[in-house]
Structure 1
Amino acid sequence: MESITRLVVRLLVAVVLGGILGYERESVGASAGLRTHMLVSLGSALFVLIPLQAGMQIEDLSRVLQGVTAGIGFLGAGAILKQSDTNDIRGLTTAASVWLTAAVGVAAGMGREATAVVSALFALAILALLRPLSKSFAASRPDGTAPIPPD
């Protein structure tokens, strides 16, 4: 019963934190939103939780983490769009948030729930609280281009 509780808590932490980050992205109309972030976080937690349950040594888990990191990077690349203007790239923040959400899932899956929560709170602050500052930087560009809408 104890191992099932531990499993449920780790996966639930991953899903909830991924959902919080995904909700923020969806609220600004980003291409990867609530469900995507929840699935990325849950999948990442599973990719580390299953080998740990199977008895894999923590030192050997680095190969799993390398695979998760590369795979999520590939997924995030799909969210990045280059527009016709040479300086107009969309989706970079969403790709970064998907990548970070995977790391939050890994932390939760490895039983580092406090690390996962603190990281997700930092990410939420960066995404939500720094948006006005980011917009003011974009508005004051020397090339006179309009502010970039959130990606």
Structure 2
Amino acid sequence: MQILSQLWTDLSDSFTATPPSVATMRMLAALALGGTIGFEREWHHKPAGLRTHMLIAVAASLFALIALELVDISRTEGAASGARSDIVRLIGAVTSGVAFLAAGTIITSGGRVRGLTTGASMWLAGAVGLACGTGRIGLGALATGITVTVLWVFRRIEERLESPATRAMNEDADLPMTPDDEARHRHTPTDPMA
């Protein structure tokens, strides 16, 4: 029992800006909100689902918490202005990293683009995680609510507005890639000048 007590003391001492209980709540909020977005993607059998969105949101939350800790450390050492610009750069780095992951879900095949909405939802999960990590859980929850509404409600609206030909094409786009599609995707130059 003394070992656990010592571990908790060491953990508590390592946090200067955010107490461990608050950091835990922020990361759990990011987990839940990212999972909410991911559940919708998982429900519709999209390439990045529940776990991916949860991990993205928690990672973004962790990066935000680290940034807050670094600002607090810098403040005690008299370098607050430099630390603030580092936070902005950190947010930019998280955004770029998530965009890189999201781009991996977007595939163009046969003149059709697949995975764009999933990529956008991953990007949003990162933003929700950043909001939670900085203590703006309400903002993250609002963004999650809007996101899930767009994904669920507007899917139904789009389905009603589509012509039968477009619907058939979209149903084909939701199918897994065939080996021929994968081969074309691997050998299709992405540079139009190539």
TM-score by length of 1: 0.89
Q: List structure 1 runs of 4+ shifted beyond 6 angstroms.
A: none
1:77 is matched with 103
Identity %: 37
Distance (Å, rounded) in 2 between the aligned partners of 1:67 and 1:53:
17
- The structural deviation recorded for 1:51 is 1.8
Q: Which runs of 5+ in 2 are unaligned?
A: 1-11, 13-17, 75-82, 175-194
Which amino acid in the other structure matches residue 94 of structure 2?
Answer: V
1:29 is matched with 45
Greater helix proportion: 2
1:121 is matched with 145
Matched, 1:19 2:26: no
**Contact 2:53/2:122 (<8 A) preserved:** yes
Matches within 5 A, 1:2-17: 3-17=19-33
- The structural deviation recorded for 1:49 is 0.6
| Aligned partner of 1:134 among 139, 155, 158 | 158
2:88 is matched with 62
**Contact 1:19/1:38 (<8 A) preserved:** yes
Partner of 2:166, secondary structure, is coil
Structure number with greater CO (CA < 8 Å, separation at least 6) is 1
Provide the aligned C-alpha RMSD in A: 1.8
Distance (Å, rounded) in 2 between the aligned partners of 1:12 and 1:71:
21
- The structural deviation recorded for 1:140 is 2.6
- The structural deviation recorded for 1:5 is 1.3
- The structural deviation recorded for 1:59 is 4.5
